[in-house]
Amino acid sequence: MPDDSAQPFLDPTPPHWVARGLAYVIIAAFALTLLGAVLVKVPETVSGPFTLVPIRGTDPVRAVKSGVLVEVRVAEGDKVTRGSTLFLLRSASMSDRAADRLTLESQLRANEQRLTILKSQYDTRKRSDEAEGGGWQNRIQFLEG
């Protein structure tokens, strides 16, 4: 019976040219990938003509505020630019906000008038206190003399 432990079936260490060749292949693949990433320009955005079509027929108009649709300013297939007005809504909350604005403006005017009155009262009291302080000074001098 031959000794199996002395002669392994495969040599566990590969030849030096295999390891070196594998290293060169990995370095070359990395260099080609890096070169391709630098040279090949991929556009970030792609543009093309298209028409939006609703999936389930007509979809409801969604708006930030509730209201009644008054006017539609575009038709199907029209080209629109960003920021253009598509629909006009009449909202009851806008009239409420206008009333709130008028109320706040009148409160602001009343506060400004109140501030003017308080400044006038402060100046009057200050002058009165200064006059009274002068009178006390005169009395002190009189009593000392």
- Residue written as token pair 């080209």: 79
* Residues 74, 60 contacting (CB under 8 angstroms): no
Which of the pair, 25 or 8, is modelled with greater confidence? 25
Residue 41: φ, ψ to 5°: -100, 125
Residue 74: is its pLDDT beyond 70? yes
Q: Are 33 and 25 in contact (CB under 8 A)?
A: no
91: exposed, middle or buried (C-beta count within 10 Å: 0-12, 13-18, 19+)? Answer: middle
pLDDT of res. 143: 82
Q: What is the 3-state secondary structure (H, E, C) of 23-78?
A: HHHHHHHHHHHHHHHHHCCCCCCCCCCCCCCCCCCCCCCCCCCCCEEEEECCCCCC
Q: What is the pTM of this model?
A: 0.32
The answer on pLDDT for 16 being more than 90 is no
The SS3 of residue 145 is coil
Asked if pLDDT for residue 23 goes beyond 70, the answer is yes
Integer Cα distance of 53 and 50 in angstroms:
9
Q: Of 36-40, 41-45, 102-106, 127-131, which gets the smallest average pLDDT?
A: 41-45
User: What CA–CA distances, in Å, run from 21 to 15, 26, 32?
Assistant: 10, 9, 16
List, for residues 80-120, the tens digit of each pLDDT value.
888 888 888 877 766 677 788 889 999 999 999 999 999 99
Confidence of residue 5 (pLDDT cuts 50, 70, 90): low
pLDDT at res. 4: 56
pLDDT at 141: 84
**Chain position carrying tokens 């389930």:** 56
Q: What is the mean pLDDT of residues 1-8?
A: 58
Rounded to 5 degrees, φ, ψ at 65 are: -105, 150
Distance CA 106, CA 112 (A): 10
Q: Higher pLDDT residue, 59 or 68?
A: 68
Among 14-23, 60-69, 121-130, the least confident range: 60-69
Report the distance separating Cα 105 and Cα 131, nearest Å: 39
